[in-house]
Amino acid sequence: MEFVLIGFSDVPSLQWILFGIFFIMYLIILLGNSIIILITRIDPTLQNPMYFFLANFSFLEICYITVTVPRMLRDIWTQKRNISFLACATQMCFVLMFGGTECLVLTVMAYDRYVAVCNPLKYPIIMSHKVCIQLVAGSWISGIPIEIGQTCQIFSRSFCGSNTINHFYCDIPQILKLACGDTFVDQMVVYTLIVMFLMVPFLLIVASYGKIISSILKSSSAKGRAKAFSTCSSHLTVIILFYGTAAINYLQPESNQSEGLGKLLSVFYTILTPVMNPIIYSLRNKSVTVALKRLLPNY
């Protein structure tokens, strides 16, 4: 009827330090992304597709982090780590949905930058407001039935033996370890969906930035090239961190999975990258910082 989330209880001396660190990170994510959403909504200079996608991405980051971190903080605070069967399934479903949506939104953002850099004259036509809404809606909606189906498939299995999950949230590899019988089919479904929602978007993003970098190299302005390369390298750093850690966690064979490593990798793509994203995608952006100063005149 329930599971027990071990979380970080294997390092009891660091419990309250970890609580403080994760609580501060959560506040940074909430504050940073909320500010981005606010200024992209009210500042007239930020009413274009790039910042429309950025606002949606910031809202997604808030949703993604809220599925896992508040529960983890509550577990550390109360030292009660029980989670009901339904709550565990619900948490996994939302983690998968928001994670899949993030992969697709990052792909859309890379495509937007590709069109802006490589086809600037047709940019307003290609990235019309209607198209932007369709791309965002497609990113949010496309993964919902698939991830609900995957969650139902996993939790329809019988579970035997221990009900202890050595993780800070309900994740697929840890849940499958508790399932009775052969989980080969479930793992093949997981691998297939990871290719669809992780590897294909990653390759599309890399291809988009490859085209962008190729176009930048043709630019005659050394200052423009340096600025563009700085932006691209920052974006690619976050993307590689997010996709790389998630791919390692989900694609490695079950026999090779280390619970400690899986937990560490999950921290990277569920907590650390959402902390970095507002800084990389927004606060290093000159237009955003100018808009922020207009919003906070005494800043």
* Average pLDDT of span 92-115: 93
> pLDDT per residue over 39-97, tens digit each?
889 888 888 998 899 899 999 999 999 999 999 999 999 888 899 999 999 999 999 99
In angstroms, rounded to a whole number, what is the distance separating the alpha carbons of residues 17 and 19? Answer: 5
Give the pLDDT band of residue 299 (cuts 50, 70, 90).
very low
Q: Report the pLDDT averaged over residues 118-135.
A: 93
Is residue 225 pLDDT above 80, yes or no?
Answer: no
What does pLDDT average to over the chain? 87
Determine which helix (DSSP H) or strand (DSSP E) holds 164, and give its type and residue range.
strand 164-165
Burial class (CB in 10 A: 0-12, 13-18, 19+), 80: exposed
Please tell me the distance from the alpha carbon of residue 66 to that of residue 68, in angstroms, as a whole number.
6
- pLDDT score of 69: 95
Q: Please report, for the chain, the start and end positions of each structural domain, with discontinuous segments joined by +.
A: 2-295
In the CATH scheme, what is the homologous superfamily, with its name and number, of domain 2-295? Rhodopsin 7-helix transmembrane proteins (1.20.1070.10)
Residues 223 and 237: their CA atoms lie apart, in Å, by 21
Residue 285, Cα to own-chain centre: how many angstroms? 20
Q: What is the pTM of this model?
A: 0.91
**Bridge partners for 164 per DSSP:** 4
In this structure, what token pair is assigned to residue 61? 């980051």
